[in-house]
Amino acid sequence: MAVNDPISDMLTRIRNANTSLKDNVEMPVSTMKVEIARLLKEEGYILDYSVVHGDSFDMIVLDLKYGDDRRRVISGLKRISKPGRRVYAKKDSIPRVLGGLGTAVLSTSKGLMTGRDAEKKGIGGEVVCFIW
């Protein structure tokens, strides 16, 4: 039985668009997806994002970023905490992605933030995904 997980869907859409070198990717909007897009932009993984208001529902559009010779900026995305198995990290044990080269996204009591920000603020939370 498949579980409908919007965050996994978002990461899969980004992964697929990135693999096929698309300029942008769009998906139905949610608050969590907008926050993940904000973090991706702050960390430099995407150029920009915008919410497009449609007739029946809104869409979020992410403009993907590429380096010289169309080299991908995002080389991998992985969903960590899933609906069937939630993964939490205490403030002392926030995971490092590729020895600090990647980004861990945490859902904390202060909102969605990167692992580095959570470490600075001294709070833990649910490990949503890894991006590198």
Backbone angles phi, psi at 13, to 5 degrees: -65, -40
Query: What class, spelled out in words, does domain 77-131 have in CATH?
Result: alpha beta
Which H or E run includes 128?
strand 125-131
**SS3 of residue 7 by DSSP:** helix
User: Domains of the chain: which residue ranges?
Assistant: 6-70, 77-131
- Is the domain spanning 6-70 CATH 3.30.1370.30? The answer is yes
pLDDT tens digits, one per residue of 61-78? 999 999 988 899 999 999
Q: What is the C-alpha separation between 54 and 88, in angstroms, rounded?
A: 36
User: What pTM does this model have?
Assistant: 0.91
Largest CA distance in the chain: 46
Q: What is the C-alpha separation between 123 and 114, in angstroms, rounded?
A: 11
> Confidence class of residue 54 from pLDDT cuts 50, 70 and 90?
confident
pLDDT tens digits, one per residue of 113-131? 999 999 999 999 999 999 9
Q: What is the C-alpha separation between 77 and 74, in angstroms, rounded?
A: 8
Residue 39: which residues within 8 A CB-CB, separation 6 or more? 103, 105, 112, 113, 114
